[in-house]
Each structure stands twice: as C-alpha cells, then as structure tokens.
C-alpha cells in the first residue's frame, strides 16, 4: 500500500491542547474515521483497549497506537504532533509528542 493511501494530508495534525493519553487516542480516532461519531467511539474504544494491553510508546517521544476494525476496507493512518508531550507509559519514561495511529 502506498503511504499516500495510508496517510492523507487531512489526517496529519498538530494538537495544541493534547490533554492526556486518552484524549490523544480520541483525537486519533476522529482523524481515522473522518469524524463519524459512531465510528469514532468504536475506534477510540479499540485504541484504548489495545493500549490497556501494553503501551504503544516505542521510546524517544514516539507512540504507535493501533487497533483492528472491520469498519474500513483498507488500513488507515493518522499522524499527530503534540504541542505538549503526554505520558504514554513508555519504557524509557519519555513523554510522547509524536503519534502515528493506525
């Protein structure tokens, strides 16, 4: 899959008020679902469920939250840069400011 199909310009944002990890995951869900309220809630729940299994932070301020869903026929991605880093429970204890959600 070409990167342009996975990650469109509309799904790349700067979050100026990221809040906490759950708010970041909710923002990612909105981007991934193009703001469809019903799908946003389902994708947000799936991202939080996966995160509860173990942090998706890979260190050095980067997290890659992800989940599976039958909502789409192909993979989708969203990239969020956080103006204020957020604790994702990374092993290196570094707060996250770059998020690539799938």
Of all residues in the chain, the percent with pLDDT exceeding 90 is 83
Q: Indicate the DSSP class of residue 94.
A: P
Nearest Cα residue to 28 out of 71, 74, 76: 76
CA 54 to chain centre: 14
Question: 1-49, pLDDT tens digit by residue?
Answer: 777 788 999 999 999 999 999 999 999 999 999 877 889 999 999 999 9
Contact 35, 101 (CB under 8 A): no
Q: Is 84 a catalytic residue?
A: no
Q: How sure is the predictor about 71, in pLDDT bands with cuts at 50, 70 and 90?
A: confident
Q: What's the pTM? A: 0.93
Q: Which member of 60, 66, 84, 93 is catalytic?
A: 66
Cα–Cα dist 9/74, whole Å: 17
């Amino acid at each position: 899959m070409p990167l342009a199909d996975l990650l469109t310009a509309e799904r790349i944002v700067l979050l100026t008020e990221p809040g906490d990890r759950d708010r970041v995951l909710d923002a990612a869900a909105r981007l991934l679902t193009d703001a469809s309220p019903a799908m946003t809630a389902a994708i947000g729940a799936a991202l939080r469920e996966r995160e509860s299994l173990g942090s998706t932070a890979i260190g050095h301020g980067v997290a890659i939250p992800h989940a599976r869903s039958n909502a789409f026929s192909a993979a989708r991605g969203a990239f969020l840069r956080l103006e204020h880093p957020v604790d994702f429970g990374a092993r290196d204890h570094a707060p996250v400011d770059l998020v690539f959600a799938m």
